[in-house]
Amino acid sequence: MPKARVIGVDPGPTPGICLLREDGEPWVLQCNHEAAIDVVRSLMDLGGALPVPQILAIEKFVVGRRAARSATAKAGEITRNLIGELQALDKDAHLRPATQIKAWATDKRLEAAGLLDKTKGMPHARDAARHALYAAVHDGGWRDPLSKKAKEK
């Protein structure tokens, strides 16, 4: 059975989106929040015709001291609204906090997966790639790019 297609999203005023698929190059972008839901919906619709499971991985919005210092109330509202719209697209979406993902999806792991250069200059797309890679390995059955078997390929 083919591996899952995985869409990772870093929601916010400037969302990042990453598509990982077994049969092609990773696809990453940053866009404005108004376009993000249409982009993700289109990616899901394109994948819906394939006999491959799809996983939507979204960064969970966590309000903390750091978030309160760096984000405006409007940014928080935009982020929460986007997460709600994304969850409406996929009721089984995986929401995980950034702290959980970043501890595992390090730059070294992104580099091994071919995602570090693709996300250069796009920090939100890089965070989306972290979520996509985590979900691909932990939920989709993909090999960890740092595993010995992955390095042998």
Q: Phi/psi at 30 (nearest 5 deg)? A: -120, 145
User: What is the mean predicted confidence (pLDDT) over 108-112?
Assistant: 97
Task: Please give the DSSP secondary-structure letter assigned to residue 113.
Answer: T
More confident residue, 72 or 82: 82
d(CA 139, CA 5): 11
CA-nearest of 22, 39, 21 to 30 is 39
Inform me whether the pLDDT recorded for 64 exceeds 70. no
* Confidence at residue 32, expressed as pLDDT on a 0 to 100 scale: 96
Sign, Cα dihedral of 80, 57, 118, 27: negative
Give the mean pLDDT of the chain: 90
How many separate domains does the chain show?
1
Banded model confidence at residue 68, pLDDT cuts 50, 70, 90? very low
CATH classification at residue 65: 3.30.420.10
User: Which residue range is the domain that position 69 belongs to?
Assistant: 5-152
Given this model, what pLDDT does residue 4 score? 86
- Half-sphere exposure of residue 141: CA atoms within 13 angstroms, side-chain side: 9
pLDDT at position 142, please? 94
| Percent share of the chain, pLDDT over 70 | 90
Residue 130 has pLDDT above 60, yes or no: yes
What is the pLDDT, as a whole number, of residue 63?
A: 64
Contacts of 17 (CB under 8 A, 6+ apart): 7, 8, 9, 10, 28, 29, 30, 31, 36, 39, 40, 43, 125, 128
* Per-residue tokens: 123: 């920090």
For residue 46, what pLDDT is reported? 85
